[in-house]
């Protein structure tokens, strides 16, 4: 996956096409197996239930709060004739908002310094982790 795939360390595939990735993602320390399943529910269209396997592992992945590890993940329909497709719905690009008062930036900076993560999603700021180790 040239181009936008730079830096991605997790890829997922339809098990019937193991050399053709359906997609990939960057991995943050707070990205869990449960989060991965949530993302797949948004992206995957399947005419049957499916299981997800870390390539080379015979046990299906379960949606737990354990961190997702980097690697290649195969998506396998549980029905013999099941198909895996990626949705063609347009994604909604995050829109940046701006303030004219200046108070929002100060508040945002203090919350980020205090928590080191998003207070809504809980996603850890990887830069904060790097700064803390300096």
Region 32-55: what's the mean pLDDT? 94
For 14-51, the three-class secondary structure string (H helix, E strand, C coil) is ECCCCCCEEEEECCCCCCEHHHHHHHHHHHEEECCCEE
Specify the range with the lowest mean pLDDT, choosing from 34-38, 64-68, 71-75, 112-116.
Answer: 112-116
Given a cut of 70, whether residue 97 has pLDDT beyond it is: no
Using CB atoms within 10 A of its CB, is residue 71 exposed (0-12), middle (13-18) or buried (19+)? middle
Q: What is the pLDDT of residue 122?
A: 75
Q: Tokens 């982790």 identify what position? A: 129
Determine the Cα–Cα distance for residues 25 and 83; give it in Å rounded to an integer: 22
- Write the pLDDT tens digit of every residue in 78-93: 998 899 988 888 766 6
SS3 label, residue 105 = helix
Determine the Cα–Cα distance for residues 133 and 127; give it in Å rounded to an integer: 10
- Write the pLDDT tens digit of every residue in 104-133: 777 777 877 787 777 777 777 666 555 554
pLDDT, the chain, mean: 83
Q: How many other CB atoms sit within 10 Å of the CB of residue 88?
A: 6
The size of the chain, in residues, is 134
Using CB atoms within 10 A of its CB, is residue 125 exposed (0-12), middle (13-18) or buried (19+)? middle
Given a cut of 50, whether residue 134 has pLDDT beyond it is: no
| Domains in the chain: boundaries | 10-86, 103-133
Q: What is the pLDDT of residue 79?
A: 92
User: pTM, whole model, 2 decimals?
Assistant: 0.66
Region 67-84: what's the mean pLDDT? 94
Above pLDDT 70, what percent of the chain? 78
């Amino acid at each position: 996956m040239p181009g936008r795939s730079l830096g991605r360390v997790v890829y997922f595939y339809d098990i019937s096409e193991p050399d053709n990735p359906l997609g990939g993602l960057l991995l943050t320390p707070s990205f869990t197996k449960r989060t991965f399943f949530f993302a797949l529910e948004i992206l995957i269209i399947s005419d049957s239930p499916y299981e997800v396997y870390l390539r080379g592992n015979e046990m299906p992945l379960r949606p737990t709060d354990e961190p997702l590890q980097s690697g290649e993940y195969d998506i396998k329909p549980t029905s013999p004739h099941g198909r895996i497709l990626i949705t063609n719905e347009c994604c909604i690009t995050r829109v940046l908002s701006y303030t004219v008062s200046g108070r929002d930036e100060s508040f945002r900076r203090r919350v980020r310094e205090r928590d080191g993560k998003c207070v809504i999603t809980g996603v850890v700021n990887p830069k904060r982790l790097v700064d803390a180790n300096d």
